[in-house]
Amino acid sequence: MITAAFALVLAQAATPAPPPPPPPKCEGASFGAFDFWVGEWEVFPRGGDQKIAESRIEKVSAGCAIRETWMPLQGRSGSSLSAFDPADGTWHQLWVGGAPGRVFFDGGPVDGAMVLTGYWGKDTEGKPSLVRMTYTLEADGSVRQYGQASSDHGRSWSDSFDLIYRRKD
């Protein structure tokens, strides 16, 4: 004879468990704040016409992250992975180049641009160099990546690099 408890166990085993709820989607203004950078690009120094690199920027991980594949014409390649974290309301980027090490940048949208800051390399005196990168969508559809460096933890800044990403034809 089957006991009531055993019958309940058998009934529960025969009933499939409901599927788990779907994960939250990476949608909305905060998640899309860096979408203007997505595309296939040729990269030039600002004001110059000598191409220095190509770069592929794509949405990955179900649209929750943006991956850059940096392909310079000379020098070492690299990749970055950028994502918005709703837990802290901040964008984070991990850069890994063709040499040992990695760089972490943090930031977010400021006046229509994406501004990311992190310690990258050392200055001429061997002090850690704080780098601020500002990505701006230009009127012609290109993207400007303007880099500034600080050796005094952001109290003063100097120009470091200034690049223009032009969409490939």
Say how far apart CA 120 and CA 149 lie, in whole Å: 9
C-alpha R_g of the chain? 23
> Residue 137: pLDDT above 80?
yes
How many angstroms separate the CA atoms of 38 and 55, rounded?
10
Mean pLDDT, to the nearest integer, of 27-53? 96
Domains within the chain, CATH numbers bracketed: 29-167 (2.40.128.20)
> pLDDT of 58-98, one tens digit each?
999 999 999 999 999 999 999 999 999 999 999 999 999 98
Closest CA to 72 of 37, 44, 95, 31: 44
Question: Are 63 and 26 spatial neighbours (Cβ–Cβ below 8 Å)?
Answer: yes
Whether residue 44 is predicted with pLDDT greater than 90 in this model: the reply is yes
Q: pLDDT tens-digit profile of 92-116? A: 999 999 888 899 999 999 999 999 9
